[in-house]
Structure 1
């Protein structure tokens, strides 16, 4: 078990990188505490798998160091790092039984037979594999094989960390929630550092205590699921997390007033010295924008109403910009013109994509 430190870590696949654009993974300084459950979240190509492979030893970084506790492992091969890795697609031995597959990592390390048998039974129960322990892996479905692969990663109690690279890709959707819950139970029981790579926000937010959001090779925010939702540090985080994502509207800000297409909005924070930039934007999540009758707020044109089961989302247009708003149960939508009201507690101002802080106005919290 280990605390994992990334010290000025960066990686480029091309030789002699000169600019940030040359790096697939831009400089990262980060510490994963021992026993934490972390997710690396971002779209394909953002650098998350590269980072995971650097931690595991499959890729050596161009710059920087990796420490397990205080031990520099940057130049150590994978087998010397005492980690377990579960890949996107199942890695099993088809000619072996499920029991033999689960026992294989322990057998290789000469763990006594009685302890191996006990550990295999424990993991099999957690993953609901007990009834198939004596079956050959070749006769099982893809999702069952992935459960075996998960079990092989989890069976060793002495690993420094377990790394998961999109492990639920081949799992049937109705089993994914069950397996995420199982991994959380195992994490609480074993106190092992777990790092889970995914492009699926639901997987990341339900598995991890802290989520590392990546975009274009860089870490743009690290925080709890609540922090990422309520106070996105970057417009990408606001857009990527949430369904639908955060509304991002170009605006002009003067002190405690934002102007959107000539309409003034009183803010709860004052921005006295905005950075010199070409792009100032207002961000607010659809959950905090309410559709209202015409004339009772900012005017909008209603394009359509989406019923997503748990709520209704209005797709509207304000000053030529698309906007998503929640539709209260008591608001009938009978025409294409309406208004929206913002919950000003959840309005954020961004400069070139980055959240900027303001001073509270009239006793409001910053």
Structure 2
């Protein structure tokens, strides 16, 4: 088990990088605490798998260091780092039984037979593999084979970290929730550092204690699931986290008032002068925007109302800009004209994509 430190880490796949755009992974300074459950979350191509492969030793960074505790492992081979890695697709020995597959990492390290057998039984029970332990792996489904891959990663109790690269891709959708819960329970039991790469926000937010959100090769925010939802530090986080994502609209800000077109919206903070040339935006999540009858708030045009099961979401336009808003159960609308009520405590202002903190002007301002 180890604390993992990324020290001024960056990586480019070209030989002579000069600008930030040349780097697939822009400079990162980060510490993964021992025993933490982390997720690397972002869209395809954002650099998360590159970062995972640098931690595992499959890729050497262009610059910077990787430390396990205080040991610099940047130039150590993968096998010397004492980690386990679970990949997107199953890695199993088809000619072996499930029991032999699970035991293989321990047998390679000459772990005593009795200890190996006990550990294999424990992992098989946690992953619901007990009933197939003596079956040949070649006869199992892709779901079951990936469970074996997970088990091979989890079976060693002495690893510095376990790295998961989108491990539930081949898992049947109705089993994914169960396996995420199982991995979370195993993490609590084993107290091992786990880093889980995914593009699926549900996987990230249900597995991890802390989520590292990546965009265009850079880390744009690290935080708990609640922090990412309640206070996105970057417009990409606001857009990417949540379903639907945050409403983000261009605006002008003067002191404690935001202007979206000709609509003035009072804020609970006052903001510095946001100069010409900065991209200034207004952000609020649909959960904090409520559809109202016309004349009772900011005027909008209703384009449609979607029923997403747990709630209804209105798709509206304000000054030609699309927004999403929650729909109260008892609302009665007359035609497509309506209004919005915004929770002022949940409004965020961004400049060039980054959250602007602002200065509090007192509680209870509306």
Same fold, judged at TM 0.5 (above): yes
Note if contact 2:41-2:48 (Cα within 8 Å) is conserved in structure 1. yes
Query: 2:147 is matched with which residue?
Result: 147
Query: 1:98 is matched with which residue?
Result: 98
* Equivalent residues, number: 365
Deviations 1:156-207 (A, max 9, x none): 0000000000000000011000000000111001100000000000000000
Query: 1:240 is matched with which residue?
Result: 240
* 1:273 Cα offset (Å): 3.3
Query: 2:313 is matched with which residue?
Result: 313
* 1:277 Cα offset (Å): 3.4
In structure 2, C-alpha distance between the alignment counterparts of 1:313 and 1:276, rounded to whole Å:
34
* 1:361 Cα offset (Å): 1.3
Query: For residues 192-203 of structure 1, what are the structure 2 equivalents within 5 Å?
Result: 192-203=192-203
Any idea what SS the aligned residue of 2:143 has? helix
Q: Cα gap change, 1:150/1:275 in structure 2, threshold over 3 Å: closer, same or farther?
A: farther
Query: 1:177 is matched with which residue?
Result: 177
* 1:272 Cα offset (Å): 2.6
In structure 2, C-alpha distance between the alignment counterparts of 1:75 and 1:24, rounded to whole Å:
20
Query: 1:28 is matched with which residue?
Result: 28
Length-normalised TM-score, structure 1: 0.99
Note if contact 1:277-1:351 (Cα within 8 Å) is conserved in structure 2. no
Q: Please provide the CA RMSD for this pair.
A: 0.9
In structure 1, C-alpha distance between the alignment counterparts of 2:322 and 2:81, rounded to whole Å:
49
Query: 1:250 is matched with which residue?
Result: 250
* 1:335 Cα offset (Å): 1.3
Any idea what SS the aligned residue of 1:248 has? strand
Report runs of 4+ in structure 1 exceeding 2 Å deviation: 272-278, 362-365
In structure 2, C-alpha distance between the alignment counterparts of 1:311 and 1:46, rounded to whole Å:
31
Query: 1:361 is matched with which residue?
Result: 361
Note if contact 1:269-1:364 (Cα within 8 Å) is conserved in structure 2. no
Deviations 1:39-91 (A, max 9, x none): 00000000000000000000000000000000000000000000000000000
| Unpaired segments ≥5 residues, structure 2 | none
Any idea what SS the aligned residue of 2:244 has? coil
| Unpaired segments ≥5 residues, structure 1 | none
Any idea what SS the aligned residue of 1:134 has? coil
Query: 2:120 is matched with which residue?
Result: 120
Query: 2:304 is matched with which residue?
Result: 304
In structure 1, C-alpha distance between the alignment counterparts of 2:47 and 2:364, rounded to whole Å:
38
Note if contact 2:254-2:273 (Cα within 8 Å) is conserved in structure 1. no
